[in-house]
Amino acid sequence: METKKEIRSCILKQRRAQSKETCEKSSMVIAEKLLALPEYRKAKNIYAYMDFSGEVKTEMILKESLRLGKNLWLPRVNGDIMDFFRVRSKDDFEIGAYGILEPKGENKAGKEEARDGFMVVPGVAFDADRNRIGFGGGYYDKYLELYPELFTAAVAFGFQIVEGVPTEANDIRPQKLITEERIYE
């Protein structure tokens, strides 16, 4: 089995090689599947991310969540801590850690929002059992440890699914994994 670092390097290379058109087309299919999930439809609070560097595009998910009147929460990193802050429009962002757009408000999500929350989880690589490799900071695992009541659905392109992902005791698997080809549960 390859190490997380080797898998991460291989998948990131494939992600960078993917055409913009393929990325956008596949992202739309993935977003449509996610938006149709009953767990998404009933959630009042949507925790998502701003796509970066070839990740599954989230614009459609973000716009639809706001259109449906859901509370939209996006992450902001401060040191080794990630929190989610409320976003109401595109004006609520600034360039943050790692050059990624982050929310600039101070309205932070807590236990109450998590009870009725649905989180869209990014990742670099996954396996068919929904084990996940991120960028190595453990931000999502730490956050989900604090808020286990959040329903989690990861999004990834089909080529991000690998044979096996090495796991550690603190790794938290998403409840669903959505690619353009299928939904893993």
Going by their DSSP bridges, the two strands 71-78 and 117-121 should be labelled as: unpaired
Pick from 172, 168, 116: nearest CA to 139? 172
How many C-beta atoms surround the C-beta of residue 172 within 10 A?
Answer: 18
Residue 180 has, within 13 A of its CA and on its CB side, a CA count of: 14
Give the domains, in start order, of the chain with CATH numbers: 4-184 (3.40.50.10420)
Q: What is the pTM of this model?
A: 0.95
Look up residue 25 and give its two tokens.
Answer: 């087309």
How far CA 138 is from CA of 19, 64, 168, 175, in Å, comes to 29, 28, 11, 17
Per-residue pLDDT of the chain (185 residues; tens, 9 = 90+): 689 999 999 999 999 999 999 999 999 999 999 999 999 999 999 999 999 889 999 999 999 999 999 999 999 988 889 999 999 987 888 888 677 888 988 899 999 999 999 999 999 999 999 999 998 889 999 999 999 999 999 999 999 999 999 999 999 999 999 999 999 99
Instruction: To the nearest 10°, report the CA torsion of 138, 133, 47, 150.
Output: -80
